[in-house]
Structure 1
């Protein structure tokens, strides 16, 4: 006489936010289910869904899929943005280090040039001293 109650299992999703139209569609879907007695005596009661009900279910599923897709896209964009910021900071640091190394190299090159000139002047002075000593010893 009494039919077994129909149990509905809705997926439990974290961070899911439904709009009022989502709830309306869901409740309309649940209210419109019609249990139909099977013509075969061995079969139990089953639910037959109309085309409209299947469209509603598909619409809800598509909305959830689109929401997940937008969330994935948003997370990907955030990750790429963070990576861009990190790479910009690393690039700025490398440019600063290159600038510092270049200036140190230029300073070292100037010091090398100065020391070479000083060495040349001292060698000339040493040659002149040797020549003076040689000329003194000859006289």
Structure 2
């Protein structure tokens, strides 16, 4: 046999107006909760899509920057190689100039003539004291690259 409370509960909102109001609020709350959960899931999915899009954009930017870095590194290596070649050439030319100056000194001693033989600075240690006028170096480096 069912107790009086169980009978009232089994009757539910169909017969007792107090429970009908309670069930209606519960049903509205459930609907509201479901709608809120749906909005939350949609918002979460939208944020996930935005983050994935941002990841793709950042990866593209990173790839572009890495290409620029690689290009700049190649330019640096090329310039360093050219600089080494030029240093070797200046050493060779300085040695030749020293040899020619020593020939001039010998010629001056043998001939007895007074020759104006300038001193040759060590251009590797003091490049600002080059015996010739320095021309400005122009470049075609594209500043918009970076």
Which residue number in structure 2 is paired with residue 92 of structure 1? 63
Q: Which has the higher strand share?
A: 1
TM-score (norm 1): 0.63
Query: Is the aligned partner of 1:131 residue 2:102?
Result: yes
Q: Superposed, which structure 2 residues align to 1:1-139 within 5 Å? A: 49-139=20-110
TM-score (norm 2): 0.60
Q: What 5-or-longer segments of structure 1 have no aligned partner?
A: 1-31, 37-47
Following TM superposition, by how much is the alpha carbon of 1:138 offset from its aligned partner in structure 2, in angstroms? 1.8
Q: Which has the higher helix share?
A: 2
CA distance in 2, matches of 1:84, 1:124: 59
Q: What 5-or-longer segments of structure 2 have no aligned partner?
A: 1-12, 111-146
Deviations 1:37-64 (A, max 9, x none): xxxxxxxxxxx94222221111111111
Number of positions where the alignment pairs a residue of Structure 1 with one of Structure 2: 97
SS in 1 for 2:28: helix
